[in-house]
Amino acid sequence: MRLLRGAGLVLSLLAPGLAAAQPAAPGPTLAAVRARGALSCGISTGDPAWSQPDSRGVWQGMDADLCRAFAAAVLGSPEKLVWQHLTGQNRFPALVTGQVEVLTRTTTWTFLRDAQLGLNFTAPNFYDGQGFLVRADSGVTGAKQLDGATICFVSASTHELNLQDWSRNTGVRFTPVIFADKDEARRAYESGRCDSYTGDASQLAAIRAAFPDARAHRLLPDRISKEPYAPAVKQGDDQWFDIIRYVVYGLVEAEELGITRENAGKMLAESPSPAVQRLLGKTGELGPALGLDRAWMLNAIRAVGNYGEIYDRHLGKDSPAQLPRGPNDLWTRGGLMVAPPMR
């Protein structure tokens, strides 16, 4: 009998699926998180729909819920978190120096960030594009009408280079007004210091929805970039990379399989689907393969719901932003969200 050995697993080629997998030994990041009893997760200092405190001071949003899913999968509870509120300037150093174990701060996956900063992007959790917010009474209906405009945006982001590339390609001239964080940029736009505020369209939609009179502002239809968001981890720990990546994929898989926050327990007990049984830990060794217990994804789904539930709550039909799923829909409905086979 020939055996494959890797990541703490022993698998028999003669009887696949029958050999009992031993839990993978914890790598340095998983061991550190368990020793602390909490996951240190990097989010923004305040960003509608992504990570922002509610009226009770509880952090809400897509990024915040991803942090909760990671904590639930790794530690069994979405409450075992240390929130690290990071700016565009300090988010990458915080990850590389170990201040956070995972960065979920609306961060675009780019070539140079991946290749040069000592971090790895895991799995895309949102596909966006850079757009423009203008006042409805400005008469501007397209981005090319912004020639000569003052445009607010945040430093240490992809937005400045995107604007420069777009300006060179289109001949549209603009005056940049640059801020250290999104709150400053939003207030400057709201007070009339700039003609337009540019950023990723999902963030602009959430900002517009939060204005006292959302109808007084228009999100232009133009998109001048592609902005795939993905949680990032520090290079050098493949096990931790896989844990974060497959929690994201597991939330997508849960939506495809019809597993929700409310029905996860019933699906575990009653579903005849082999895929459901594997994902929720009734059969198979998905959790132990990552050094986690069998209930890793059951705990994550019970904490925050599947990917579609998270999206609808913060950006979609149940949110003020009312942003259509578009490319963030499941692949079975024409979107880009697809998980590798979970087996």
Would you give per-residue pLDDT tens digits along the chain (343 residues)? 333 333 333 333 323 333 455 778 999 999 999 999 999 999 998 889 999 999 999 999 999 999 999 999 999 999 999 999 999 899 999 999 999 999 999 999 999 999 999 999 999 999 999 999 999 999 999 999 999 999 999 987 889 999 999 999 999 999 999 998 888 899 999 999 999 999 999 999 999 999 999 999 999 999 999 999 999 999 999 999 999 999 999 999 999 999 999 999 999 999 999 999 999 999 999 999 999 999 999 999 999 999 999 999 999 999 999 999 999 999 999 999 999 999 9
Fold of 129-227: D-Maltodextrin-Binding Protein; domain 2 (3.40.190)
Q: How far apart are CA 273 and CA 280, in angstroms?
A: 11
pLDDT the model gives residue 21 = 59
What are the two backbone dihedrals, phi and then psi, of residue 245, each rounded to the nearest 5 degrees?
Answer: -60, -45
Same-fold call for 28-125+230-332 versus 129-227: yes
Closest CA to 62 of 142, 151, 148, 128: 128
pLDDT 10s digits, 54-104? 999 999 999 999 999 999 999 999 999 999 999 989 999 999 999 999 999
* CATH assignment, 28-125+230-332: 3.40.190.10
- Report the Cα 253 to chain-centroid distance in Å: 15
Q: How far apart are CA 327 and CA 335, in angstroms?
A: 4
pLDDT 10s digits, 111-134? 999 999 999 999 999 999 999 999
pLDDT the model gives residue 155 = 87
- Write down the domain spans for the chain: 28-125+230-332, 129-227
